[in-house]
């Protein structure tokens, strides 16, 4: 049974032509090797150096020694009645000196000709929202190559031609891993990479003003979604621990700066918790907030998570909430819950059997 790859083996899916060329030059190989390798990776879907036949034997040996293709083991796959597919992936991690594996979940959502990859940016989540399964533990960051690997795997599910949209709405707070998330987005967007339009990539955040301002300087025109979930600070602090660090108005100020620099309006994500934040007065408060900046509102019914003290709101209550917003000029939509029957919907993702796993028992990589 194989052991985890040494830390020096970098994920091929996290490389750019320049980064790979620089590594090649440092090892005494020609600069053009970077482009050659990535044409195999992205043009032909080949991640095994031994199959890259236009590389010399020495180049293939160097590439295999210092890089790894697919790192994760697919631990479980579930398909929902609506066609949504969820993968539980296990990545080896020996960076802390222990041969352990960490897990995350990724989801492919098919709808109206779209194939959306909902991917994770962290192992677990540090925010700890009271309504979310992902916040029950945080184990570490996903590097860019491992973020991209999730999209790569979802794109190769049975019957899937390619991924058309990517949403960073899986496990984790993307702006708490900003450098790796933006590196992954560049690879997903690049014509030499996955070639996914930046306008079809959405990053969701719980709202960290300083990080939103830094992200506003990002050069690609991606979409930003704010997980608001309450129309006032008092209510928000009861369900989102990080709300203690920033008031709603501070977060919205950062979102206004985002719009000024990017020209892209904000999506306000609002999770409706039955009897908690779904009353008519809450809708009226939310309408005032939404009208204070260029935004649209996505209303999301809470998806059941065992052991959490919330209720899923009724359809009439959700429609009344939406109508109050629309009557006040707010562009509000009710987002369908996809994959509920396999716990793949919003707020249901968790790193199942999440304690670190000894690789000597469970094996290691697939690449």
DSSP for 53-83 reads TTS-HHHHHHHHHHEES---EEEEEEE-TTS
Domain containing residue 16: CATH number:
1.10.150.530
d(CA 121, CA 181): 7
Annotation marks residue 105 as catalytic: yes
d(CA 65, CA 129): 41
Spatial CA neighbour of 168 closest among 118, 103, 128: 118
Q: How far is CA 82 from CA 7, 27, 204, 336, 338, in A?
A: 39, 49, 24, 11, 7
Decide if 357 is inside a domain. Answer: no
Decide if 245 is inside a domain. Answer: yes
d(CA 93, CA 321): 45
The reported pLDDT for the residue numbered 99 is 59
Same-domain pairing of 129 and 183: yes
Of 105, 149, 180, 269, the catalytic one is: 105
Q: How many distinct structural domains can be found in the chain?
A: 2
Of 118, 132, 255, 346, the catalytic one is: 346
Same-domain pairing of 190 and 311: yes
Angle between helices 144-155 and 178-189 in degrees, nearest 10: 40
Decide if 1 is inside a domain. Answer: no
d(CA 147, CA 142): 6
How many Cβ atoms are within 10 Å of 253's Cβ, its own excluded? 17
d(CA 301, CA 336): 8
Same-domain pairing of 251 and 236: yes
Same-domain pairing of 115 and 207: yes
Same-domain pairing of 202 and 284: yes
CA angle, residues 13, 16, 20, in degrees to nearest 5: 95
How many Cβ atoms are within 10 Å of 219's Cβ, its own excluded? 9
* Tokens linked to 169: 């709405």
Same-domain pairing of 216 and 335: yes
Decide if 360 is inside a domain. Answer: no
The reported pLDDT for the residue numbered 337 is 67
How many Cβ atoms are within 10 Å of 72's Cβ, its own excluded? 25
**Which of 69, 86, 109 is at the close of a domain?**
69
Given a contact cutoff of 8 angstroms between Cβ atoms, the answer to whether 112 and 159 are in contact is no
Same-domain pairing of 331 and 250: yes
Tokens 């969820």 locate to: 86
Same-domain pairing of 40 and 120: no
Domain containing residue 266: CATH number:
3.20.20.70
Spatial CA neighbour of 176 closest among 253, 122, 123: 122
Same-domain pairing of 192 and 303: yes
What phi and psi, each to the nearest 5 degrees, are found at residue 362? Answer: -105, 0
Given a contact cutoff of 8 angstroms between Cβ atoms, the answer to whether 86 and 339 are in contact is yes
Please report how many Cα atoms fall inside a 13 Å half-sphere around the Cα of residue 157, on the Cβ side: 23
Angle between helices 17-26 and 57-66 in degrees, nearest 10: 110
Please report how many Cα atoms fall inside a 13 Å half-sphere around the Cα of residue 76, on the Cβ side: 14
Decide if 354 is inside a domain. Answer: no
Decide if 351 is inside a domain. Answer: no
Burial class (CB in 10 A: 0-12, 13-18, 19+), 236: buried
Same-domain pairing of 179 and 278: yes
Structural domain boundaries enclosing 57: 10-69
Same-domain pairing of 60 and 135: no
Burial class (CB in 10 A: 0-12, 13-18, 19+), 334: middle
Q: Three-class SS string for 270-289?
A: EEECCCCCCCHHHHHHHHHH
Same-domain pairing of 42 and 99: no
Show pLDDT as tens, one digit a residue, over the chain (367 residues): 334 444 568 999 999 999 999 999 999 999 999 999 999 999 999 999 999 999 999 999 999 999 999 999 999 999 988 889 999 999 997 554 445 789 999 999 998 889 999 999 999 899 988 888 765 678 899 999 999 999 999 999 976 668 999 999 999 999 999 999 999 999 999 999 999 999 999 999 999 999 999 999 999 999 999 999 999 999 999 999 999 999 999 999 999 999 999 999 999 999 999 989 999 999 999 999 999 999 999 999 987 766 676 889 989 999 999 999 999 999 999 987 654 455 444 444 444 444 333 322 222 223 3
Annotation marks residue 346 as catalytic: yes
Decide if 366 is inside a domain. Answer: no
Predicted TM-score of the model (pTM)? 0.87
Decide if 3 is inside a domain. Answer: no
- Name residues whose C-beta falls within 8 Å of residue 145's C-beta, 6 or more positions apart in sequence: 10, 11, 12, 13, 14, 15, 71, 184
d(CA 90, CA 364): 8
Tokens 């960290």 locate to: 208
């Amino acid at each position: 049974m194989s052991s985890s790859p040494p830390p020096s083996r970098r994920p091929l899916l996290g490389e750019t032509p320049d980064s790979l060329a620089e590594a090649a030059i440092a090892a005494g190989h020609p600069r053009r090797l970077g482009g050659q390798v990535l044409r195999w990776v992205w043009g032909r879907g080949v991640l095994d150096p031994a199959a890259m036949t236009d590389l010399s034997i020495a180049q293939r040996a160097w590439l295999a020694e210092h890089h790894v293709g697919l790192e994760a083991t697919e631990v479980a796959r579930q398909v929902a009645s609506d066609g949504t597919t969820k993968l539980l992936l296990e990545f080896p991690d020996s960076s802390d000196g222990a041969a352990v594996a960490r897990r995350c979940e990724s989801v492919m959502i098919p709808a109206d000709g779209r194939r959306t990859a909902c991917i994770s940016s962290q192992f677990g989540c540090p925010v700890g929202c009271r309504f979310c399964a992902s916040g029950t533990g945080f184990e570490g960051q996903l590097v860019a190559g491992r973020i991209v690997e999730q999209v790569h795997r979802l794109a190769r599910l049975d019957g899937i031609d390619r991924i058309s949209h990517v949403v960073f709405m899986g496990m984790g707070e993307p702006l708490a891993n900003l450098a790796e998330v933006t590196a992954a987005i560049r690879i997903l967007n690049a014509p030499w990479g996955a070639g996914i339009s930046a306008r079809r990539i959405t990053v969701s955040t719980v709202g960290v003003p300083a990080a939103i301002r830094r992200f506003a300087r990002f050069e690609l025109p991606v979409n930003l979604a704010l997980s608001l979930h309450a129309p006032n600070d008092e209510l928000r602090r009861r369900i989102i621990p990080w709300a203690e660090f920033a008031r709603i108005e501070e977060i919205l100020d950062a979102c206004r700066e985002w719009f000024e620099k990017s020209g892209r309006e904000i999506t306000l994500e609002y999770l409706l918790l039955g009897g908690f934040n779904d009353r008519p007065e809450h809708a009226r408060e939310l309408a005032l907030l939404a009208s204070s900046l260029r935004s649209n509102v996505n209303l999301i019914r809470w998806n059941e998570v065992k052991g959490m003290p919330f209720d899923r709101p009724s359809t009439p209550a959700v429609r009344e909430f939406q109508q109050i917003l629309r009557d006040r000029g707010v562009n509000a939509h009710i987002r369908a819950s996809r994959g509920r029957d396999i716990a793949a919907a919003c707020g249901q993702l968790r790193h199942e059997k999440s304690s670190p796993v000894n690789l000597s028992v469970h094996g290691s990589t697939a690449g």
